[in-house]
Amino acid sequence: MREGALEQITRTVATIQHMNEQIAAASEEQSVVAEQINRNVISVRDISEQTAAASEQTAASSIELARLGTHLQTLVGKFRVG
């Protein structure tokens, strides 16, 4: 009876060891995926900042274009034949 109990304990310990190995492998995979997600989030943030800067530049260019359009309209108005 004692021999059977020791064999059962040995099998149980082996099972636990196998489970621990699976848990360690899964943890490593999760760590890799978390790092990839982190890199992707940083990339999205960088692209968002670039987009915001480009939008500000577009707004400034639009204001300048409107100013130039108004100035051009004034100049053209001076050459009208009435």
pLDDT digit string (tens) for 43-69? 999 999 999 999 999 999 999 999 999
Q: What share of the chain is helix, strand, coil (3-state, %, to 5)?
A: 95, 0, 5
Q: What is the pTM (predicted TM-score) of this model?
A: 0.64
Which tokens go with 8? 């059962």
CA 57 to each of CA 17, 45, 54, 79: distance values in angstroms, whole numbers, following the listed order: 60, 18, 5, 33
Q: What is the mean pLDDT of residues 19-24?
A: 98
Q: Flag whether pLDDT at 72 surpasses 70.
A: yes
